[in-house]
Amino acid sequence: MSAPRLITRFMRPSTSPISLTTTFARRSFGSSVVRRNDVNNNDRAPSTAPEHRKNQTNKPPNPNVPNTTSTMTKDFPKVGEKSAPPEMLNSVDPNYKPADPYPGRVEHFTGGRQETGAQKPELGVGEMEGITFKVEPLRREGEDVTTMRARLLYQSRKRGILESDLLLSTFADVYLADMNKEQLQEYDRFLDENDWDIYYWATQDPPTEGTEAAVSTEAGAQDTPTETWKRTGAKSGEWAQTVGAFKAAYRPVPSRWADSDVLRLLRQHVRDNSATGFHAAKTKKTGGPGLGRMPNVQVFNN
């Protein structure tokens, strides 16, 4: 009998009451190590673990940085050339207090444990967080009303994002033909603002104290489950693919546009066309048609 067949026969389990198979042959092989039950698992930790644990517990808590606080600023702590990650803020600057543009948000999130830092000034036209230069808008002089109205129609249709394209193009289609020269000049300055700022100024209501729970309840009432939602996860609403998935932080309107007639008309335009999304539209019995698509180009005769 050859050696391989002999080894195979010895490894095969035997049905005989007197088995010559050794215990080693019957035992299954594995990579796990047999450990004693009385071994302390803490002894398996690295030798530096107690010192690291003590160092972490003695540190002050990391400051709470809300989603409305930009980290692309000069006052945010740095680690070399890059911004510090949240878990290293207390190591870089234990006294750092984030500056939030919305007053009271940090105290609300932390239950009064953390105070807000210095209030940041409003950003002017052409200013953005994290940049060191200012983009000055172009000013036209000696432009007649017809040319200005045609130019503003073009600028309303050719924005940087789809949301402002639909919002401003439909707004210009309704209101631009009836604006006087003073309103056209104000609308011209308004179009120099950032696209996302314009969109959120027109579609967001200012938050009030004690209404956060009510807003969440109303949002839950609007997001009614449907048969499509049960199959695909989509909810009912004007923007069915995003309802309940993302809520942008409130962007306060700067003082230069607080009493703007153009912004008031733009918000009225949103309310008139909103289907279910805008808070002020809930008083209407029937929802609006929505923004739909970009309207056809108007030709102004005067």
Q: pLDDT value at position 230?
A: 53
* Whether the Cβ atoms of residue 88 and residue 79 lie closer than 8 Å to each other: yes
Per-residue pLDDT of the chain (302 residues; tens, 9 = 90+): 567 676 777 666 655 555 544 554 555 556 666 666 655 666 677 888 888 888 878 877 777 676 666 666 666 777 667 776 766 676 777 777 766 666 566 666 666 656 666 666 677 787 776 667 777 888 888 888 888 999 999 999 998 888 888 899 999 998 998 899 999 999 999 999 988 889 989 888 776 655 444 444 444 445 555 555 555 554 455 444 555 555 666 778 888 888 899 999 999 888 887 765 544 445 554 455 566 678 888 887 76
Tokens, residue 139: 């000013």
Domain segments of the chain as ranges: 57-120, 132-211+232-302
DSSP-derived secondary structure letter, 79: E
- Tell me the H-state helices in 59-194: 89-92, 105-110, 145-157, 162-175, 181-190
Q: pLDDT value at position 228?
A: 54
Look at the alpha carbons of 192, 194, 195, 198 in this order and tell me if their dihedral is positive or negative: negative
* Whether the Cβ atoms of residue 115 and residue 63 lie closer than 8 Å to each other: no
Tokens, residue 11: 């490894």
Tokens, residue 231: 């199959």
Q: pLDDT value at position 86?
A: 64
Q: Which residues lie closer than 8 Å to 232 by C-beta, 6 or more apart?
A: none
pTM for this structure? 0.54
Q: pLDDT value at position 238?
A: 46
Q: Which residues lie closer than 8 Å to 185 by C-beta, 6 or more apart?
A: 148
Q: pLDDT value at position 184?
A: 92
Q: pLDDT value at position 153?
A: 92
Q: pLDDT value at position 276?
A: 55
Q: pLDDT value at position 93?
A: 72
Q: H helices then E strands: how many in the chain?
A: 12, 2
Instruction: State pLDDT tens for residues 13-37.
Output: 655 555 544 554 555 556 666 666 6
Q: Provide the β-strand partners of residue 32.
A: none
Q: Give which of 267, 271, 269 is closest to 284, Cα–Cα.
A: 271
What CATH fold (topology level) applies to the domain 132-211+232-302? DNA polymerase; domain 1 (1.10.150)
Q: pLDDT value at position 264?
A: 92
Whole-angstrom distance, CA of residue 232 vs CA of residue 119 = 44
Q: Provide the β-strand partners of residue 83.
A: 78
Q: Give which of 112, 115, 111, 133 is closest to 124, Cα–Cα.
A: 133
